[in-house]
Amino acid sequence: MVRLPAVAGRFYPSDPAELSAQIREYFAPQNGLVVRNVKACLVPHAGLMYSGHVAGAVFSSIRIPEKVVILGVRHRPPGSPAAIMSSGAWRTPLGDAEIDHELAEKLRVACPLLTEDAVAHSKEHSLEVEIPFLQVLHPDFRFVPIALGTAHFETLVSVGEAIGGVLAAENEEVLLVTSSDLNHYEDDATTRVKDRKAIEQLLSMNVRGLYDVCRKEEISMCGLGPAVAMLTALQLLKAGNAELIRYATSADRGGDLSAVVGYAGMVFW
């Protein structure tokens, strides 16, 4: 099965040459840049014109291995609260990105909560917009897509524990890409204050702290679930370091300060 692009021509260019050129423009300058091995990263998933420079700064600062797990949020499509696709490919204007069937099966066995569900992925953009970045940097990468539509803390922790256990047992390096925007549709000043509180918990790698501060402070972080799962997995992967690579809001590119979305690009190792 080939999952066709859902947001090409809207979130990113549908022309291959234009898309590739735009993504390369978002990569951080290479002079003096040290490309690191990391266990996970957090990147935004808005239209490239708004958040591509944040995602590009992250992806160009890390080494992309052959295997990737992409954790995204299920915004609107119906389907499973924890949806996986374990075979086939995802098409973008840059070609087909193959699903790593073997790794997907290991994750399904380790976490019965993960349900094979192509419908939940069919129109969801949070995973799709990350794939062209990976295709430019590592054209032959393989991946496992997981979309989380639940905000139940214990469920998210269970998913994260399963992911962490499977990746810790892998002989090959696997990158965990977590797709999330931060606070939504408040003014720029308010959003920056709220986002800082969430980022502090991410930098501390505090799973419960991130969940609780987003609830208490009403931080509308759409990828809270994937981030909770990621931080949980990182505990099993014995990661102890986190760094904020770039932060921005949509106002930095769009100019409207009255209703913005926040974007953070982070790495964990």
Q: pLDDT at residue 28 above 90?
A: no
How confident is the model over 164-199, as pLDDT tens digits? 999 999 999 999 999 999 999 999 999 999 999 999
Do 127 and 140 meet the contact criterion of CB atoms below 8 Å apart?
no
Tell me the CA distances in angstroms from 42 to 32, 67, 108, 176, 190, one per residue in order: 23, 16, 23, 9, 22
pLDDT at residue 4 in the model: 97
How confident is the model over 74-102, as pLDDT tens digits? 987 788 999 999 999 999 999 999 999 99
pTM: 0.96
224-236 and 207-216 are packed helices; what angle lies between their axes, rounded to 10 degrees? 160
The average pLDDT across 15-27 equals: 97
pLDDT at residue 147 in the model: 97
pLDDT at residue 32 in the model: 55
The average pLDDT across 39-58 equals: 97
Q: pLDDT at residue 234 above 80?
A: yes
Among 140, 117, 132, 147, CA closest to 8: 132
